[in-house]
Amino acid sequence: MMKLLKAGLVAVATLTGATIAAAQDTIRFAVTDIDGMEALQTEMGPFKEVFEKVSGLKVEFFAVSGRTVAVEAMAADQVDFVLTGPAEYVVFNARMQAVPVVTWNRPDYYSNIVVLDGSPYQTVSDLKDQKISFGEIGSTSQHLEPATLLAEGGLSYATDYEPVFLKRNVAVEALIKGEIAAIGLNRTHIEQITEKFPDQKFRVLVKGPELPNDVLLASPTVKPEVIEAVRKAFLDHGTELLEAVTSQEANAKFLGGGFTATVTDADYDVVRKMYENVGVTEFLAFLE
């Protein structure tokens, strides 16, 4: 009788576990800076394979064409988890209280204000009344933080200088021609322009602090136990997952990084301050 009772309890426990798993054994996953399903499958395919193995969850890719599509998809309950940048997280959280789950850490992730080595500009204040180019509007490392570095140097956004938004190589060409005075870039971009323009020497006028990392966030509709299962997978199998992610050259920015499962919303208050430095005090929409 006791053996039958134990067997029954095991069966109930197994059935209960299966029921919980069946409630959400597939998570819908998007990445804001990967455009289209083919690229998503290529760049994140190895991660998907390892994550499914270590977590017991299935991953269903949800392709987006940018951050706006991603936030609208989450609002429409079409996606559960989104990998995105710091500036984007602030909007996701303001729009629908998206939950930060785990950071995807990027070594040497910081912004710079760069000038030509031979330029007369020696301090931020020397850039007053000049044109300064930023990268993608609303980008943490190419716009918000460079504008913050200028603000900390005494220059008010769009008042003490003229912000323009040029593609990186176009901006460098404009810098060489003297059409702009400086460019806001992150560390990786400096390496790229140095390689692209080997005959030019660039100088970092000011370097910023390490930025908050990219973050995997969850829709507020995702059950807490599913969020914890995802977080635990990164906590227990971070090395394997990082190897899978960085096996693709497109994800080289994460080389030498890792994952942090103790992330909180407060970690991104510094990004909210960056938004304020460009005149944004409500975070319900992306800068366009």
Render pLDDT for 14-26 as a digit per residue (tens, 0 to 9). Answer: 333 333 444 469 9
Q: Looking at residue 237, what is its pLDDT?
A: 98
List, for residues 143-195, the tens digit of each pLDDT value.
999 999 999 999 999 999 999 999 999 999 999 999 999 999 999 999 999 99
**CB-based contacts of 80, cutoff 8 Å, min separation 6:** 24, 27, 28, 29, 218, 219, 221, 222, 226
Mean pLDDT of the chain: 92
| pLDDT over threshold 60, residue 32 | yes
Residue 254's pLDDT band, with cuts at 50, 70 and 90, is very high
Q: What is the dihedral of CA 68, 102, 55, 71, to 10 degrees?
A: -10
The predicted structure's pLDDT at residue 288: 83
The pLDDT of residue 2 = 39
The residues with which 186 forms a beta bridge, in sequence order, are: 111
Q: Is the pLDDT of residue 10 over 60?
A: no
List, in order of start, the domains of the chain with CATH numbers: 2-107+212-277 (3.40.190.10), 111-207 (3.40.190.10)
Supply 2's token pair. Answer: 């006791």
